[in-house]
Amino acid sequence: MHHLVIQRHTAPLSQHDLDHLCHIAAPMSLEKFADDHGPNRGHNAARLRDIRGTGPGMRRALDSYCREHHIDWAIVPAGLHLGDFKLLAMDMDSTLINIETVDEIGATVGKKDEIAAITAAAMRGEIADYATSLRQRVALLAGVPLAALDKLYTDTLRLNPGAETLLAAAKAAGLKTQLVTGGFTHFTDRLKQRLGFDRVAANVLGVKGDALDGSLVGDIIDGEAKKKAVLAFCDDLGCDPGEVLVIGDGANDLPMMHAVGFSVAYHAKPKVREAATTAIDHGALDSLLHWFE
């Protein structure tokens, strides 16, 4: 059996919402949540228990209504607990944090628009060779002082809403946590220390003196490398890929999302949203905690 979890993050679910979605899903019962994952969020969520099916027709009907009414929805196996997973792996740029770091580094030297156009195309899956696109972008950063990256971390980089709550809940449930990104160690080193990630995979920016030299050092962390990093940690933990939960937003997250048991598209590009197990389109990262019993 499966449950349907619905959440609206800007206003309460109306009786019309509940009636319409119950008509689509035909649950055996309905459970409204207490507010235990953030201000007002619990008042805006419900679990429709033991729904009649999970087929594509039902999913299309759910998605059509929920998109129009700004509701996040997820179909999850009945009885699934967060602690059933052994590893939570997540992307950094635009997933854990609010920015694309390479774009914002470019902004410090007036090249954000040029770099951001390449980033956007890569995240939509329009550039097949991610590694080459990253090298092109990083080459434009030659000469950026390291102090500018420090200032970016302090002044601009912010965790996306719910990140700390989600990671704390995962750790409390016994999961290991992994940050897997095409971004840079200059930021991941600090985030690992701040948030307690157990393992990190990220790219290393070349440095000459006190500035970037426009190169990348070592192997490129692209989509395939992300997948390999997640599966390697999974293997080290002695867990099955089906026991891994992955969160991402861009096309370079697709390989690791396809390789594991449960994937979440967070405010993601359409191609990623379609491929993921489920999606968070409107809510915070910790809203996924309501999916689990």
Q: What is the pLDDT of residues 64-104, one digit of tens each?
A: 999 999 999 999 999 999 999 999 999 999 999 999 999 99
pLDDT of 202 strictly over 90: yes
pLDDT-derived band of residue 279, with 50, 70 and 90 as boundaries? very high
Q: What percent of the chain is predicted at pLDDT more than 70? A: 97
Task: Give the bridge partners for 76, in sequence order.
Answer: 3
User: What tokens were used for 121?
Assistant: 């195309």
pTM: 0.94
Long-range contacts of 236-241 (CB under 8 A, 24+ apart): 237/86, 237/87, 237/176, 239/86, 239/87
Digit-coded pLDDT (tens) for 41-54? 446 899 999 999 89
For residue 251, give both structure tokens: 């096309």
| 1-79 and 87-234, same CATH topology | no
Please tell me the distance from the alpha carbon of residue 67 to that of residue 37, in angstroms, as a whole number.
22
Q: What is the C-alpha end-to-end distance of the chain, expressed in Å?
A: 14
Judged against a pLDDT cut of 60, whether residue 40 lies above it is answered with no
Question: What positions carry a catalytic annotation?
Answer: 91, 93
Question: Which letter does DSSP use for residue 9 in this model?
Answer: S
**Would the pLDDT of 258 be above 50?**
yes
Class of domain 87-234: alpha beta
The pLDDT of residue 144 is above 60: yes
Average pLDDT over residues 18-35: 90
Q: For 104-119, how does the pLDDT look when each residue is reduced to its tens digit (9 = 90+)?
A: 999 998 999 999 888 8
pLDDT digits (tens, 9 = 90+) for 151-191: 999 999 999 999 999 999 999 999 999 999 999 999 999 99
Give the chain's mean pLDDT: 94
Nearest to 256 by CA among 202, 180, 187, 201: 180
Sheet containing 29-32: give its strands across.
Answer: 29-32, 45-49, 2-8, 71-77
As a residue count, the chain comes to 293
The CATH fold of domain 1-79 = Alpha-Beta Plaits (3.30.70)
Question: Could you give the percent of the chain with pLDDT greater than 90?
Answer: 85
Looking at residue 41, what is its pLDDT? Answer: 47
Domain map of the chain by residue range?
1-79, 87-234
Per-residue pLDDT at 35: 52
Name the least confident of 125-129, 137-141, 165-169, 231-235: 125-129
Instruction: Find, among 44, 1, 53, 55, the residue nearest to 26 by Cα.
Output: 53
The kind and range of the H/E element at 46 are: strand 45-49
